[in-house]
Structure 1
Amino acid sequence: MFKLLTKGFWDVVARLILRNKIAILISIFAITIFFSLQWKNMRFTYTEANLLPDDHPVNLVYQNFLDIFGEEGNLIVLGVKDSTLFTVEHMNAWNNLSNRFKAFSAVDAVISLNDLQKLVKDETNERFVLEPFIADSISSMDQLNKLQDELFNQYPFYDNFLFNKNTKTVRTAIYMNKAIVNTAARKDFVFDDLIPLIAQFEKDTNINVRVSGMPYVRTLNAQNIVDEIGIFIAGALAVTSLIFFLFFRSVRATLISMFVVCLGVMWTFGIIGLLNYEITVLTALIPPLIIVIGIPNCIFLINKYQHEVKLHGNKVRSLQRVITKVGNATLMTNVTTASGFATFILTESTLLKEFGIVASLSILAIFILCLFIIPIIYTFLPYPKERHLEHLNKRWIGGFVNWMERMVKERRITIYISAIILLIASMIGIYQIKISGSLIEDMSKEAEFFGDIRFFEEEFNGIMPLEILIDTKRKKGATKLATLKRMDELEQLILETPELSKPISIVGLAKYAKQAYTNGNPKYYQLPTSQENLFISSYIKNSASDVDLLKSFVDSTGQYARITTFMKDVGTDKMERIEEDLQSEINKTFPADKYHVTITGKALVFQKGTKYLVKNLAISLSLAILLISLFMAYMFRSFKMIIVSLIPNLLPLLITAGLMGYLGVPIKPSTILVFSIAFGISVDDTIHFLAKYRQELQANHWKIRKSVYAALRETGVSMFYTSIVLFFGFSVFTISSFGGTVALGALVSATLLFAMLSNLLLLPSLLLSLERNIANKEVLKEPSINIIPEEDDEEPDNNLTNHNTPTK
C-alpha cells in the first residue's frame, strides 16, 4: 500500500514540476533574491571558537575572571631583535612609532621603552613617585647606553616583559580597548592603522618588526578564512566541472550542473545570514561542500535522463522518469547525508550546532534545487546529440565493473583476508592517535604571523595567556604579605616551567617597591619582611599613583589578585601536565578555607574544549549510525540487512582512524568532523546497492548470485562516478593553508574511496556468503519505501510540456 502511495506521490511531484515550470523558476528566483538579501547579516567571527557549552564549569570560571578583570586577550606585541635598534635615530623612531598608537580610540594603553618609569623613593613626603627613564627623547649615545644599563641590569621588574636582557630583544605592548577587541573595529585598526604604520617604520629604518598577540593573530587568521572561502568555491567548481565534463562530454550538461550548485552556494550563504550565524573555520567549509555533494545529484539526474532518452527517445517520458525513478533515491541519499551532519546539532557545542544546522539545511536545499531545475531546464533544450550519449557506452567503465565482478566471484576469501588485515592494522593505529588542544596548530604555517608567534615563543615563552585567579575571600586580602608569599611560591613553579613565561602580578610590584625603598638597589628585588612591609605600605598609601600601580594586578576591592603568564604552543599532554603541576602547588600553598584559586585563560579553555569534543565524537558518530540504521530499517524492514550494511561502512572509518594514528594526525576540532561526514555520505552507496539488489531479487525470482552481480553492474558505474567526484571534490580542501582543513579534506577523500571499494567488493561478498540467512522473502520483506521503483511502460502525459520530442 505504501509502495503505491510512494509511487503516486512521485507521479504527482513530476506533474507539478513539469506543468508549473515558469512558476517554479520564478519562485526559485524570488527565494534566491531573498537569500541574497540575507548576506548582509553574515559576519565573520572575531573570537576564538568556544567549543564548550556556555554553562560548562570551565566556561563559568573563565567568565568569572572576565567579570572581575575584563578581557584578557587584548594585548598586541611588537618585537625587534636587531642591534641597529640601539642607535639614537632608530631608538627614537621606535619610541615615536609606539607613541603614535596612543592616538587611536581602539587602543587603551601603550607601554614601550619610552613609557617605562622608575619607582623612586621620596623620603621627604614618605611616598613613592614615578620618574621616566627617558624624559623626552634620546639625544646621545651616552644617554642610550645609560638607558640600556638601567633596563638590562638594574630593573628586573621589566625583564621578560618589554625586553629580554639576554638576547637584547625589545618589544612594545599595545593594549586594545576591551570594548571593541571582539568586534569588527579590531579588524579596521589592524589593517588600516597598525600594519601600515609598522610597514612605514620598516621602510624608514630597514628593521624587521615582529607582531603578535591574540587580537592580531585572530584578525589575520580570520582574514585567511575569508580569503580561502573564495579559493575553495572556485577550486570545487573547477574540479567538479572538469570531472563532470570528462564523464558526460557535454558543455551544456556541465553548465547546467554548475548553475545549480552555484545557486546552492548562494542559498547556503543566505541560510547563514538568515540565522545570524558567524562564519567560522567550520561554516566556511559548507559552501564548497555543497558543490561537492550537489554534483552527484546532478550526475544521477542527468545520467538517468540521457539513459531514458537513448532507450525510447521520448523526452517527456524521460523527464517524468527522472523525477519518479531517481527523485526518491536521491531524496533518501541526501537525507542520510544531511543526517550525518545533523547529528552535530545534538552536541552541546555552539560551534558544532551551527555547523550541523547550516550543513543539513543546505544539503536538503541543493536536493530541491537539483530536482526542480534540471528537469525544467531540459524541457526547454533540444534533444541530446549522439555525442552527448557516448559516455553511456564507455568500455573502460565496463572493464572496471568486470574487474569488481571477478573479484567478488573468484577472490572472495582474498577480500575477507584483506578486510581483516586492514581492521587489525587500523586498531593498532587507533591506539596511537593523540589529541591536540592547540590554539594555533591549524593556522597557516606559511603565514608571516605564524613565524612571529614562534619568534615570541623563543624570546618570551609564548603569547597565549594563562591566568590564575586568587580569591582571598576578604577585602584587601590580596595585598596582605601572607598572600604575596603564597603567590611567590606559585610563581617560582611557573618560572621553573619552560613552557611558561615570567609571571606578572602584584608580587613583582611588591618586590619592585622594596627595591625602590632601598634606593633602587637591584639585589633587594625581593618580597619585604614583615617589618619592612609596614614602612613600605605607608609609602604606597601616600603615593598618588597607588591606584595606577595596583589596578592591573588587583581588583578594586582588593579581594581578588591575578597571576598572568603566557604559554608556548604545547600539546594536550604537556598542557595537562602543566595544569596538574600548578593545581598541585595551589592545593599545597593556598588553604581551601582561606583561598579559592582557579586556573583559566584562552589557552586552557580551548584545550578543555577539544577534550570535550573528543568525548562527544563517539556520541555524535553513534547517533549518526543509529539514525541512518533507523532509515534503513524503515526502508528494508530487516535487522539482518542493517548489520550487513553497516560493516562495509564502519570499516573505512576504522581504516581512516588508523591512518590518523600512523601519520600523526591528531584528533582536533577539524578532524573530528571526518567520521560523521564520511559515514553520512558513504552509506548512500550502500542504500543504492541494496535497493537495486532487492529489486533484482524480485525480478530474478530470488536467485541470489544473479541478483548480486546484476546489482553490482547496475550500481557500480554510478558509485564510481559519484565517488570520483567526491574524492577529488574533497581533495580541494588540501590546498588550504590551514592544517586542520587539509587533514579534513585528505581524510574524507580517503575514507570515501575506501567506502566505495568496501561497498563494491565487501558488501556483495557478504551477501553471497550469507545468502541463506539474508536473501529470502522472510528477511527481505516488502520495503516500506521503494527506493528504486520497478520499470513500467506508462505513457507520458503530453500535457506536461509543450516541448515534446517525438519518439524514435
Structure 2
Amino acid sequence: MKKLFSLGFWELIARLILRNRITVILGVILITIFFALQWKNIRFTQKEANLIPADDKVNVDYDHFLDKFGEEGNLILIATKDPKLFTPKVFQAWSTMMQNINKHKEVDLVISVDNLKTLTKNDTLQSFQLTNLVNPNKIQDPKYLQEIRTELLQNLPFYEGLLFNKKTGAIRSAIYIDKKIVNTKARKDYILSDLIPEIEKFEKDTGIDLHTSGMPYIRTLNSKTIIDEIGLFIGAALLVTGLIFFFFFRSFRATLISLIIVIIGVMWSFGLLGLLDYEITVLTALVPTLVIVIGIPNCIFLINKYHQEYHKHSNKAKALQRVITKTGTATLMTNITTALGFATFIATNNVLLTEFGVVTSINILAIYLLCLLILPIFFSYIPAPIPRHLGHLEREYLTSFFQWIVNTVKYNRVGVYMVAISLLIIGMIGIHKMRISGSIIEDMPKKTAFFEDIRFFEKEFDGVMPLEIMINTKRKKGVMKLSTLKRMEELEETIMEIPELSKPLSIVNLVKYSKQAYYNNNPDFYELPTAQEQAFILSYAKNATKNSKENLMKSYVDSTGQYARITTFIKDENGEKMEEIEARIRAKADKVFPSPRYEVIITGKPSVFQKGTHYLLDNLLSSLLMAFGLTAGLVAIMFRSFKMVLVSIIPNLLPLLMTAGLMGFLNIPLKPSTILVFGIAFGMSVDDTLRFLAQYRMELSRNDWKIKKSVFATFDDAGISMFYTSIVLFFGFSVFMLSSFGGTVALGGLVALTLSFGMLSNLVLLPSLVLSLNKTLANQQEFLEPTIDILEPTDEEVDAVEKKQTDQTP
C-alpha cells in the first residue's frame, strides 16, 4: 500500500512536470530573476572569522577589552632594511610618502623616523615637550642623516622593537588607521586605492622594496584574494565537471543542459546569500562551486537512469516519466541526507558555520529540484538518445572494473575485512599523530607578496599578531601609581623571557622614557623612577600625556586611569603554543596582581582564534556524531533493521578514519578548514550507501529474496551511477586545490580523497557486509516492509499504477 501511494505520488509529479513544461520553465525563469535581483545585497566580510559564540567567556573578555581600548587591529606597518634609507634622496621620498599617508582622513596617526618626537624636559611648565628628532632643513646633509640613525639606534630604547631593530638595523613606520573604519569597506577602499599606490610610487622612485603588514593590511589583501578566487573556482568546476560529463555520455546536448542547470543553481546561491543578508566569507565563498560539484552528480544519476530506461524499451516518453517515478523518493532522500550533512554545521552555535550550513543545505535541495524539473522537460524536446549516447552503459573499462569488484566480494570477503581492519589500525595510529593548529595565517596564500612580508616582520620584529593583557586596578587613576607600574614591569619581564613574544608596549615604557628625558635623555636612566623621584617625574609624565594626538601611549591607559593595557606580539608560527604561553603569563599575573584587588584579562586575536579552533573541533565532532545519528535513524526508519544501520555506517566511517590518519602521517593539522572535511565528506559519501541499499532492496524483491544474486545485480544498476558521481565529485573538489589558500587546498584535496575512499568502501566493503550480516534476511519481515519506502519499484508495479491512473482519467 505504501509503495502504491509513493508510486502514485511520483507518477502525479511526473505528469505535472511533463504536461506543464512551459509553466515550469517560466517558473524557473521567474525564480532566477528574483534571486538575481537579490545580488545587490551581497556583501563581502570585512572581519576575521570568529569561531566562538558571542556569549562565550573568551568573546566576552575580548569585547570588554575592545570596549575600553577600541579595535586593537588598526596598525599598519611599513619597513625596510635597506641602508640607503638614510641618504638624502631616499629619506626625502620616505618623508613625502609618510606625509601623504598622514593626510588621509582614514589615518589617525603616523609614527615614522622622519616625524619622530622625543621628550624634552621643560622645568618652567613642569612637563615634557614633544620635539622633533629630525630637522627637515638638514635632511639633504648625508652626515646629518647618519647622525640621526645613530641617535635612533643607540639613544632611544623607547622606540626599540616598535620602530627599529637594533641588531639588524631594520626601520619601520607605524600607521594607526581610524578605529571606526577597521571593520568597514572604507578600510579596504583606503588600502587598495590610496595606501598601496603610495607605497608603489616610493618603490618606483627609489628602487627600494618595502615590506608592508599589520592586521588591516593582511585582512584586506586576504579578502581580495578570496573574492578573486570565487570566479576561478566556478570556471574551473564548470570546465572540469563538464569535460568529465561529456566523456561519460558523449552527448553535447546533455552536457550543455547539465551545465545550464548548475549555472542557474549558482545564480540562486548568490541570490540566497543576498536574500538572507549573509556576508561572503571564506566558507560561503565555496558555496557556488559546491552547487556545481553536487549538481552535476544529480544530473548524471538522472540521465543515466533515463538512458537505462530507454535502453530497455526504446520509448522516450515512457523513459522520461519513469525516471521521475522510479527514482523520485530515492533521489529525494539521498539529497536530503547530503543536505543534513551540511545542516549539522547549524548546530555548532557559531555564526560563520551556521550561515554556511543554512546556505549549503538549502542550495543542495534547490539544485535537486532544478535537476528534477529541467532534465525531463529538456529531453522531452530533443530527439531520443542514439547508440553512441548509450555506449557508456557497457564500456569495457567499467565492465572490467566491476567484474574485479564482484570477484573480490564473491570470493575474497575475508581479504576485504583484513584490509579494512588494517586500514583502520593504520588510521588510528595516524590520528594519534595529529596536531591542532592555532595559526591565523597558516591558511593564507603563501605565494603572495603580503605573506612574505608577514614572515619578514616575524623575523625582524617578532611578529605582527597582537596579544593583549588588560589590567583592571579597580580604582580610578590606579594605573599611574608607582606600585602598579612596578607590578606591570614585573609582568613585562616575564613576557620578555618568553622567546615567542616580542618586547611589550605599555604605559611603563612612557614612564621609563620620562625618566630618561628628565635626566637629559641619558639612555642609562631608561627605567622606572624611584620612590623619591616619582612625585616630580610622574607629574611630568602625566602632563605630557594630556590632549596630545602624537602621544603614542594614549591607547595604553583608559580615560579614567583605571585600566591599563600591555601589548606584545607573537609570531604566528607559535599559535600552537598559545595555551602554554598564556598559562605562563597567567601564573605570573595572578602572583603580581592578586585577586580580588586586581583583574587581569589575557586576550587578542591570536588567542581568540586559537581557542576558536578548539571550540570548533569540539563542536564539529559533536556535529559529526549528530550526522551519524541522523543517518542511522533514517536507515532504521527506512529498513527497520539494526544490521542495516551497521551496514550503512561502517563503510562511511572507515574513509573518515583513513583520512584523519593520513593527516597525522602527513603532518596536516586540524584547523577550521580541515575540520570541515569530515562533515562534508560524510554527508556526500552516505548518498552512495543509500543508493546501493535502495537498489539492493529492489533487487531482493525481483530475485525472490536471494541475497547473493541481489547484491551482484545491484552492481549492474547502481554501480555505474556510483562510479560516475564519485569521479565527478573527486575532480570537482580537486578544483579547490587551485586555490592559493592552504586551507582551501587542504579542504578540496582531503574531501576528494575521502570521497574516493568512500566510493571503494561502498562498492567493496558495503556489499561484503550485506552478504555477511544478512544471511537470514529472507526471514526478517520487518526488513521486508520498511517504514519509509525509498526503493525503486519494479516495472510491473509502475505498469500497474500507470494503468490505474489511465483508467481513472475521464
What TM-score do the two structures reach when normalised by structure 2?
0.97
CA drift at 1:715: 1.7
| Deviating more after overlay: 512-521 vs 129-138 | 129-138
Alignment-derived partner of residue 65 in structure 1: 65
* Contact residue 7 and residue 801 of structure 2 kept, 8 A: no
CA drift at 1:546: 6.4
CA drift at 1:129: 1.0
- Name the SS of the counterpart of 2:564 in structure 1: strand
From 683, 691, 696, the counterpart of 1:693: 696
Alignment-derived partner of residue 509 in structure 2: 508
Alignment-derived partner of residue 804 in structure 1: none
Alignment-derived partner of residue 212 in structure 1: 213
| Deviating more after overlay: 487-496 vs 117-126 | 117-126
Alignment-derived partner of residue 436 in structure 2: 435
Tell me whether 1:114 sits opposite 2:118 in the alignment.
Answer: no
Alignment-derived partner of residue 185 in structure 1: 186
* Contact residue 239 and residue 728 of structure 1 kept, 8 A: yes
- Name the SS of the counterpart of 1:794 in structure 2: helix
* Contact residue 169 and residue 459 of structure 1 kept, 8 A: yes
Alignment-derived partner of residue 197 in structure 2: 196
Alignment-derived partner of residue 94 in structure 1: 94
Alignment map for 1:534-613 (pairs within 5 Å): 534-543=535-544, 545=546, 549=551, 550-613=553-616
Alignment-derived partner of residue 645 in structure 1: 648
* Contact residue 129 and residue 545 of structure 1 kept, 8 A: no
CA drift at 1:635: 1.4
CA drift at 1:161: 0.6
| Deviating more after overlay: 659-668 vs 301-310 | 301-310
* Contact residue 493 and residue 582 of structure 1 kept, 8 A: yes
Q: What CA deviation, in whole Å up to 9, does each residue of 1:287-324 have, x standing for no partner?
A: 11111111111011111222222222222111110111
- Counterpart amino acid of residue 794 in structure 1: D
CA drift at 1:542: 4.7
Alignment-derived partner of residue 803 in structure 1: none
Aligned-partner Cα distance in 1 for 2:58–2:140 = 52
Aligned-partner Cα distance in 2 for 1:124–1:565 = 36
Alignment-derived partner of residue 376 in structure 2: 375
Tell me whether 1:663 sits opposite 2:666 in the alignment.
Answer: yes
Alignment-derived partner of residue 634 in structure 2: 631
Alignment-derived partner of residue 791 in structure 2: 787
Aligned-partner Cα distance in 1 for 2:494–2:337 = 53
CA drift at 1:500: 1.2
CA drift at 1:778: 2.8
CA RMSD of aligned residues (A): 1.6
- Counterpart amino acid of residue 159 in structure 1: E
* Contact residue 540 and residue 546 of structure 1 kept, 8 A: no
Alignment map for 1:336-347 (pairs within 5 Å): 336-347=337-348
* Contact residue 78 and residue 172 of structure 1 kept, 8 A: yes
| Deviating more after overlay: 490-499 vs 442-451 | 490-499
Aligned-partner Cα distance in 1 for 2:773–2:640 = 18
| Deviating more after overlay: 207-216 vs 175-184 | 175-184
* Contact residue 694 and residue 780 of structure 1 kept, 8 A: no
- Counterpart amino acid of residue 491 in structure 2: L
Alignment-derived partner of residue 399 in structure 2: 398
Alignment-derived partner of residue 705 in structure 1: 708
Aligned-partner Cα distance in 1 for 2:801–2:692 = 28
Structure 1: runs of 5 or more not aligned: 801-808
- Name the SS of the counterpart of 2:617 in structure 1: helix
Alignment-derived partner of residue 728 in structure 1: 731
- Fraction of identical pairs, as percent: 58
Alignment-derived partner of residue 414 in structure 1: 415
- Counterpart amino acid of residue 5 in structure 1: F
- Counterpart amino acid of residue 791 in structure 1: D
CA drift at 1:547: 5.6
- CA shift in 2, pair 1:233/1:532, >3 Å: same
Aligned-partner Cα distance in 1 for 2:437–2:144 = 49
CA drift at 1:5: 1.6
Aligned-partner Cα distance in 1 for 2:778–2:589 = 66
Alignment-derived partner of residue 479 in structure 2: 478
- Name the SS of the counterpart of 1:618 in structure 2: helix
- CA shift in 2, pair 1:504/1:542, >3 Å: closer
Q: What CA deviation, in whole Å up to 9, does each residue of 1:131-185 have, x standing for no partner?
A: 1101325131232122112111111001111111221111111111111111111
- Counterpart amino acid of residue 193 in structure 1: D
- CA shift in 2, pair 1:795/1:386, >3 Å: farther
* Contact residue 435 and residue 666 of structure 1 kept, 8 A: yes
Alignment-derived partner of residue 32 in structure 1: 32
* Contact residue 93 and residue 201 of structure 1 kept, 8 A: yes
Aligned-partner Cα distance in 1 for 2:687–2:545 = 73
Alignment-derived partner of residue 332 in structure 2: 331
- Counterpart amino acid of residue 54 in structure 1: A
Aligned-partner Cα distance in 2 for 1:435–1:243 = 36
CA drift at 1:795: 9.0
Aligned-partner Cα distance in 2 for 1:606–1:106 = 27
- Counterpart amino acid of residue 35 in structure 1: F
* Contact residue 697 and residue 791 of structure 2 kept, 8 A: no
Alignment-derived partner of residue 311 in structure 1: 312
Alignment-derived partner of residue 808 in structure 2: none
Q: What CA deviation, in whole Å up to 9, does each residue of 1:711-768 have, x standing for no partner?
A: 1332211111111111111111111111111111111111111111111111111122
Aligned-partner Cα distance in 2 for 1:776–1:46 = 61
- CA shift in 2, pair 1:785/1:123, >3 Å: same
- Counterpart amino acid of residue 201 in structure 2: Q
- Counterpart amino acid of residue 429 in structure 2: I
* Contact residue 4 and residue 801 of structure 2 kept, 8 A: no
Alignment-derived partner of residue 127 in structure 1: 127
- Counterpart amino acid of residue 790 in structure 1: T
- Name the SS of the counterpart of 2:532 in structure 1: helix
CA drift at 1:226: 0.7
- Name the SS of the counterpart of 1:164 in structure 2: coil
* Contact residue 462 and residue 566 of structure 1 kept, 8 A: yes
Alignment map for 1:283-294 (pairs within 5 Å): 283-294=284-295
Aligned-partner Cα distance in 1 for 2:545–2:750 = 62
Q: Give the aligned length.
A: 799
Alignment-derived partner of residue 388 in structure 2: 387
Aligned-partner Cα distance in 2 for 1:544–1:148 = 26
Aligned-partner Cα distance in 2 for 1:254–1:73 = 49
- CA shift in 2, pair 1:87/1:303, >3 Å: same
* Contact residue 345 and residue 620 of structure 2 kept, 8 A: no
CA drift at 1:797: 8.0
* Contact residue 638 and residue 781 of structure 1 kept, 8 A: no
Alignment-derived partner of residue 46 in structure 2: 46
CA drift at 1:538: 3.0
- Name the SS of the counterpart of 2:601 in structure 1: strand
- Counterpart amino acid of residue 424 in structure 2: L
* Contact residue 339 and residue 624 of structure 1 kept, 8 A: yes
| Deviating more after overlay: 240-249 vs 324-333 | 324-333
- Name the SS of the counterpart of 2:109 in structure 1: strand
| Deviating more after overlay: 696-705 vs 787-796 | 787-796
CA drift at 1:325: 1.1
Alignment-derived partner of residue 717 in structure 1: 720
CA drift at 1:487: 0.5
Q: What CA deviation, in whole Å up to 9, does each residue of 1:435-454 have, x standing for no partner?
A: 01111000011011000000
Alignment-derived partner of residue 446 in structure 2: 445
Aligned-partner Cα distance in 2 for 1:760–1:517 = 81
- CA shift in 2, pair 1:307/1:541, >3 Å: closer
- Counterpart amino acid of residue 599 in structure 1: I
| Deviating more after overlay: 101-110 vs 518-527 | 101-110
Aligned-partner Cα distance in 2 for 1:257–1:125 = 80
* Contact residue 162 and residue 171 of structure 1 kept, 8 A: yes
CA drift at 1:779: 4.8
Q: What CA deviation, in whole Å up to 9, does each residue of 1:563-591 have, x standing for no partner?
A: 01111013443111111111111011111
Aligned-partner Cα distance in 2 for 1:378–1:567 = 61
Alignment-derived partner of residue 779 in structure 2: 776
